[in-house]
Structure formats: C-alpha cells, structure tokens
Amino acid sequence: MSDEGDDIVLGELDDDELVQQMHDDLYDGLRDEIVEAVHILLDRGWQPYDVLTRALVEGMRIVGIDFRDGILFVPEVLLAANAMKAGMGILKPLLIETGAPRLGRMVIGTVKGDIHDIGKNLVSMMMEGAGFEVIDLGINNPVETYLEALEREQPDILGMSALLTTTMPYMKVVIDTLVEKGLREDYIVLVGGAPLNEEFGRAIGADAYCRDAAVAVETAKEFMARKHNQPVAAG
Ligand code: B1M
C-alpha cells in the first residue's frame, strides 16, 4: 500500500498521521513498524484501549475489506495478522489488571474448523483486563475439548468465537451437547464473531451474542451480577 514507507520516521508524524500510517503498515504486514508505532502512541499518553481500537482493530477492518474483495490474499493477511498480534502483545499487560478481585471465570475458544483467533484473543485480553480469569482453548476446538475444559475448569462463562459462516453453526453443536448432557444451565454461554448477530445467538440457544470485546465484557459483568444477586433457577 505504501511505496514511500522507507523514508517515513514514525516518531515525526502527528497522532492522526501516525494512526493512518499504522493502518498502512498493518496492511503491509510490517510488524516492526507496528511495534514501534504502538510504543510511540503509548509514550504520547494514549490509552492502551484507544491504541487497540483506533489503530489496530480499525487497520484490520480495512485489511478485511480488501481480503473480501480479492485484493489481498491469505499470505498477506497472515502477515497483517502477525503484525496485529505483535501490537496486541505490547498492549496486553497494560490492559490486564493484576491483583484485582476476580469477577468470574471464562473458558473461551474458537470453534472446530476455524483458525481465526485475533478477535478471540482480544476478547480474552479485555475480559482479563476487566477482572475475569480466562482459560483460552485456542482455535479449532471440537465439542469434546469444550466439555473437558468445562469439567476441568468449572467456569461461570463459556465463550465461543467463529469467523466463518461455515463454522458458526458448530456453536449450536456445542450448545445442543450441553443441553443433552443436562449441563446447559450450569454456564453462561456467550458467542461472538464477525458473521454472527443477535438473532443467530438466540436461535442457537446462547445467552447472548457479543458484537465486540467491549460488549463481551459488559455482557459478562451483567450476567455475573444476575448470577450472584438472584437465586439461580432450578435447571
Ligand atoms: Co479469514 N476470513 N479466512 N483469515 N479473515 C474472514 C473472516 C472473512 C470475512 C474475509 C472476507 O472474505 N472478507 C472470510 C469469511 C467469509 C465468510 O465466512 N462469510 C474469511 C475467509 C473466507 C477465510 C478463509 C476461508 C480464506 C481461504 O483460505 N480461502 C480462511 C479460513 C481458515 C479457517 O479458519 N479454516 C481464512 C484464513 C484467514 C487467515 C489465517 C489468513 C487470517 C486469520 C489469522 C488469525 O486469526 N490468526 C484471516 C483473517 C485475519 C481474516 C480477517 C481479514 C480479519 C479477522 C480479524 O482478525 N478481525 C477477516 C475479515 C473480517 O472479519 N472483516 C477474515 C479483527 C478482529 C478484532 O475482529 O475477529 O471480528 P473479529 O472479533 C471481534 C468481534 O467479532 C467479537 O469481538 C472481537 C473483538 O472486538 N468477537 C467475539 C469475536 N469472537 C468473539 C467471541 C466472544 C465474544 C465476542 O465470545 C464471548
């Protein structure tokens, strides 16, 4: 995207120019430049959440549009994803509170057949930052992995992520299995991912669809408050 990139000194750009440059650098998969720019914005007093949303998430949104339109291909998008992850790696410890009382426990994973993990990682980071303990199962999780983790970790919340229209129906497989085993009422089930919507969340029997990581945090807090303040209905 940027041919003139070699001559640019990131530290000399003003905030808006730098964010614009980060969108370009993410597009071009320039990991080192993203790392440098994240540090510059933080040094200038930016909140980690603003760096995340305005520079990285927005940059990846642009990548997604050109991927959809066949302008970018998998290898390029992988480079962009790696650059994004490097930036997220710097922000993660800043977004995560330490020593705060735990609000609850969540097991989260991307469903079987799906290897997209940036959104899930972001949700994990934001949930940890808000005071939740998060057990991240990674990508491509079959129902058995979810069940084992639920039994082992005894979380309050099960989170599932899917980015493909072909993999999102698998969330229903997991929820139906919980119902069959009489376990559904033991967990708050939250789902998310770009192709989902509220209607889908309702249709598969999730407790809520979360549009983004901030909504996931708010929704998780609401459900935890309900769980603690009200008697749990007999399942
Ligand atoms: Co993929 N890919 N991809 N991809 N990829 C999409 C999803 C796609 C929409 C691109 C497009 O065409 N515009 C398209 C899906 C089309 C569809 O199904 N309708 C697509 C495709 C087709 C594919 C392949 C099939 C391409 C191919 O091989 N021909 C292939 C599938 C691989 C597989 O999974 N089996 C594939 C592969 C890849 C890469 C490996 C190259 C890479 C993934 C790298 C990685 O994740 N480590 C990749 C990427 C990066 C994308 C796009 C460009 C970006 C996804 C992303 O990270 N977004 C994506 C385009 C897009 O989504 N616009 C695309 C940023 C992230 C912060 O947002 O993940 O939506 P998101 O997460 C948000 C919310 O959705 C929500 O909160 C997050 C943070 O705010 N959320 C949750 C997500 N999970 C949640 C869980 C919760 C709560 C909220 O639980 C409580």
Sketch out the chain's domains with CATH numbers: 9-101 (1.10.1240.10), 102-235 (3.40.50.280)
Q: Does residue 98 have a pLDDT over 60?
A: no
Q: Determine the residue of 51, 54, 60, 67 to mutate for testing ligand 1's pocket, defined as the one with the most ligand atoms within 8 A of the Cβ atom.
A: 67
| The pLDDT value given to residue 45 | 96
Residue 37 CA to residue 27 CA, distance in Å, equals 14
More confident residue, 99 or 125: 125
Give the pLDDT band (50/70/90) at residue 234: very low
| The pLDDT value given to residue 101 | 62
**Which residues in 118-187 belong to E strands, given as ranges?**
132-136, 157-161
pLDDT in tens, 34-86: 999 999 999 999 999 899 889 998 998 899 899 889 999 989 998 998 999 99
- Ligand 1, atom 70: closest residue by C-alpha: 194
Burial label, 221 (beta-carbon count in 10 A; 0-12, 13-18, 19+) = middle
Q: Determine the residue of 116, 168, 191 to mutate for testing ligand 1's pocket, defined as the one with the most ligand atoms within 8 A of the Cβ atom.
A: 116
Distance 73 CA to ligand 1 centre (A): 13
Q: What value does the mean pLDDT take over residues 201-215?
A: 95
Distance 182 CA to ligand 1 centre (A): 32
Q: What value does the mean pLDDT take over residues 179-183?
A: 98
Lookup: tokens for 190: 């939250």
Residue 41 CA to residue 54 CA, distance in Å, equals 11
pLDDT in tens, 4-33: 446 789 999 999 999 999 999 999 999 999
Burial label, 155 (beta-carbon count in 10 A; 0-12, 13-18, 19+) = buried
Mean pLDDT of the chain: 91
Q: What value does the mean pLDDT take over residues 117-132?
A: 88
| The pLDDT value given to residue 6 | 61
| The pLDDT value given to residue 235 | 30
pTM here? Answer: 0.88
| The pLDDT value given to residue 214 | 84
Q: What value does the mean pLDDT take over residues 201-205?
A: 98
| The pLDDT value given to residue 144 | 98
